Amino acid sequence: MMRNIFYGIVFLLSAQISLAQGLPEVTLDEQWKAKIQSLAPQKTRFPSNKKKHVLVFSLHTGFKHWVIPHTEEMIKIIGEKSGSFTVTGSKDILEFEGKNLKKYDAVILNNTCSIGDHRNLFWDKLKENTAVDSATSMKKAIELENNLLAYVKKGGGLFVLHGGVTTLNNSWDFSRLLGASFDYHPVQQNFQVRLEDANHPLVQAFPSEGFNHVDEPYFYKNAYDELDFKPLMYFNNAEIKNQRKGQERTEGKTYVAWIRAEGKGKVMYASPSHNAQSFENPQLLQFFLDGMQYVVGDVDCDETPIKK
């Protein structure tokens, strides 16, 4: 009996270590695609007057999330199965030229993590061309950022997933557009994602108590403190383990997903998920599809910022 107890303790400790390091990678093969296809919603929940064209942008220069190709495939599956979207995938920053952005009803930033002192994805990529001086490259990076800002204000949609929050992490303009910049995250862990308002149209995929989730619990900075967004989901800070020493939050909540209007455009952020296993939850697939409809303007809902 003592031996069974010993092995049980070893198993539990091993499971905790594995979780802290992240869930094991899932092969992106035809079997996995078929599984997501079978779980994806049959159709959109909100009426749409025409088929929308969406860009899934999946370039990273910083941390590489193993889930990037799975996320792009998931978006393609739920968008195209619904019959309401055509989805184009790209890693070419020239998609952010003004004339190219006009081709899309919305842009989805798929774990587009930046790196380095500037934390600017466009700069990271442009500086690879050593034939161009740094001043010229930075000028171009700022131009591409401004193109994105203008695109949304004129009516384009922006949907940012998980690590995409770091795309232009030092830019206050981007931070205010999105509603936050990335600060840090503790190790992956199991936590309860709760609904801010269970009656909001964009969270109808979930039960009123929310859902249990394994992920990196993100904390934010910069424009996040302005709370210029309508929150959809959150976690209780006191339930998050291994927070940064000296900055532990034992009260209050941190938001997991939110929406906001910017000019004529719509913006949505959702931190799930670092792991492809999350996409095997049909509730999350419905939530992502609903989010795609929101950013292209198909959803009429309360988007009043909580700061107001």
Q: Would residue 64 count as lying in a domain?
A: yes
Q: Would residue 181 count as lying in a domain?
A: yes
How many structural domains is the chain composed of?
Answer: 1
What does the pLDDT look like over 73-129, one tens digit per residue? 999 999 999 999 999 999 999 999 999 999 999 999 999 999 988 999 999 999 999
pLDDT of residue 157: 98
Q: Would residue 1 count as lying in a domain?
A: no
Q: Which residues of the chain have pLDDT under 50?
A: 1-18
> To the nearest 10°, the Cα dihedral for 276, 282, 286, 289?
40
Kindly report the number of other CB atoms within 10 A of residue 247's CB atom: 9
Tokens of 134: 């740094």
Q: Would residue 166 count as lying in a domain?
A: yes
CA angle 9, 19, 258 (to 5 degrees): 140
pLDDT of residue 19: 53
> To the nearest 10°, the Cα dihedral for 206, 212, 214, 218?
70
Query: In 3D, which of 304, 289, 278 has the Cα closest to residue 26?
Result: 278
Q: What does the alpha-carbon distance between residue 148 and residue 280 come to, in Å, rounded to a whole number?
A: 31
pLDDT of residue 116: 84
Query: In 3D, which of 201, 219, 185, 218 has the Cα closest to residue 301?
Result: 201
pLDDT of residue 227: 97
Task: Calculate the average pLDDT of the chain.
Answer: 92
pLDDT of residue 12: 32
pLDDT of residue 23: 87
pLDDT of residue 254: 97
Name the amino acid, one letter, at 263: G
**Which domain, by its residues, includes 169?**
26-295
pLDDT of residue 191: 96
CATH number at residue 44: 3.40.50.880
Cβ proximity of 79 and 292 under 8 Å: yes
Cβ proximity of 257 and 295 under 8 Å: no
Q: Would residue 147 count as lying in a domain?
A: yes
